[in-house]
Structure formats: C-alpha cells, structure tokens
Structure 1
C-alpha cells in the first residue's frame, strides 16, 4: 500500500508527477511506502533516514511493475531492473532525505 496523495496507480503524487516519477520509498521510521518526502511530511511523525548498513533492505518500489529493490540497487541505476521503467534522475537531489549519505 502506498501512503500519501497519489494521483495514479504508478505512485505519482500531487508533488511529483512526471512520466519518470514512478517510485515510492519505504521510510525507515514507519516502514510505509510514500511517493515522496513531501507526502511523508504530511504524516504524523518525523522522518528517519536509512543508515548505510541497511541499504540492502528492500525499500524502493517501482510504481510500474510493483517490484521492490534494495536501496543499493536503486542508487546504482536509473531504471527498474525488473521492467526497465525509467526513474527521474533529478530525485538524486533528495537522496539525503531518505538515505544517510555521510
């Protein structure tokens, strides 16, 4: 289940809804999938980032095929390894909001 204000069945939300905005991220704090950090901000708790030692955890969902991938896999690619759907490369600017980068 995807939480947040989605606008279609491929995880696009009211904040990010281009053709390539097709992932949802499982937040460490609540173990719930949200399409973006802004959708999670609307939840009733503070976000926690995934520490590097947990990047093998399946925490990224492709909205096209619904396949889960690890954080390592997601950060190493620009498309879904299962179905080939392209991901929005501009999401890299928000990596620090989801995953510990230092």
Structure 2
C-alpha cells in the first residue's frame, strides 16, 4: 500500500488544509516521488517545494492516488472520472482548479 504524507491525515488521506468528504486524492511530487495530501502539506514537511508532474513526459506514470482504496492512477485516468474507478468514491472536482500546482 502506498503511503500518503501530510499534516493531520485521516484514514482516507484528508489533511488539515483540505478535509471535505471528497478530498481523498493524493498527488505525487516529481522531485521526491512521494504522495502528498496537498502541496501545502508537502511544502511544510519537505526541504523543497512541491514540483508538479510533467504529464507530457510519460502518460503511463502513476501520479494520483485515491486515499480511500489506494488505487494509483495516471493523469489521464484521474481526469477521465469523477469518482475513483476502483472504489467509486467521489472526487472533489474543485481540485482540478489546482491542476497547475500538481501537473505541468
């Protein structure tokens, strides 16, 4: 099972910054390759800024993790669904407004 890092996480990967029922996505930092609940948690716990994943590099890279079932997804898979394709838990669609923070 992949680990989700963050501050004050619950069992589904929600953190102190984002804690709505749909906030279950963790994104992988390109620099350290760790899944974090959010960029704010990452930047408070690491000695480098969250580095977005270059999605044009390799579309088969697993870069998004569902905090409920720990299903890893590619960028394309994540953006194709409103729910986890494995456990069907709803995603927070507002997270897509932060695309520039997590993907380049």
Please report the TM-score for the alignment, with normalisation by the length of structure 2.
Answer: 0.89
Q: Structure 1 CA distance, aligned partners of 2:53 and 2:17? A: 22
- Give the unaligned 5+ runs of structure 1: none
Pair 17,59 (structure 1): closer, same or farther in 2 beyond 3 Å: same
Q: Structure 2 CA distance, aligned partners of 1:96 and 1:7? A: 23
Q: Does 1:71 align with 2:75?
A: yes
- Give the unaligned 5+ runs of structure 2: none
- RMSD of equivalent CA atoms: 1.1
Query: 2:49 pairs with 46, 70, 82, which one?
Result: 46
Q: Structure 1 CA distance, aligned partners of 2:8 and 2:70? A: 15
1:33 alignment counterpart: 35
Q: Structure 1 CA distance, aligned partners of 2:48 and 2:71? A: 26
State the Cα distance separating 1:53 from its structure 2 match.
2.3
Q: Structure 1 CA distance, aligned partners of 2:101 and 2:95? A: 10
Question: 1:55-92: per-residue Cα shift (whole Å, max 9, x none)?
Answer: 32111111111111111111221110001010000001
> SS in structure 2 opposite 1:73?
helix
Pair 61,6 (structure 1): closer, same or farther in 2 beyond 3 Å: farther
2:91 alignment counterpart: 87
The ranges of structure 1 where at least 4 consecutive aligned residues each deviate by more than 4 angstroms after the TM superposition are none
| 1:79 and 1:86 in contact (8 A); partners too | yes
Question: How many corresponding residue pairs?
Answer: 100
